[in-house]
Amino acid sequence: MRLVPLVAMLAVLNGCASYRLFPDNPVAISADFQPPADAILAGVVIGAAAYYVLDPLAPNWEVRAERLDVHRVEIRLRKKRFSTGGDGEAQDLFQRRAEEIAYRNGAPGFEILSYSEGIDSETAVARRVAHGVVRLLPPA
């Protein structure tokens, strides 16, 4: 996706009257449909920028875990700004991550000490967040 700034720069340069990188003559797609080349380029640039911002293949949630001490782990989740669905999966994701952490540390299980969900409105586009602390159970 590093090409998006380059393509945007080329589109701006193409719009300058003294410098035409792309011809403004129409592209014959069919007999009835012949859009100008710069309109096609603008569509490609807008589509690439929208794909870069929305990123439909990225996971819906960003999960971070931080060890507080030997037995306690803090888990933070942040939902991506633009997504379709996934609003009710924070608690399940939190639970799965806690199980994974317990397994990796050789603990037989865990106890949820705190858990909360909310909305982070630090910018114009709010996003869902979840936060919790788990205690890893000692081996029996």
Q: Which of 67, 76, 77, 129 is nearest to 102 (CA)?
A: 67
User: Across the strands, what pairs with 117?
Assistant: 130
> In this model, does residue 134 exceed pLDDT 90?
yes
pLDDT digits 0-9 by tens, 42-101: 788 888 777 766 666 667 788 999 999 999 999 999 988 776 666 778 899 999 999 999
Confidence (pTM)? 0.61
What DSSP line would sit under 31-46, residue for residue?
A: SS---BHHHHHHHHHH
pLDDT in tens, 90-125: 899 999 999 999 999 999 999 999 999 998 887 777
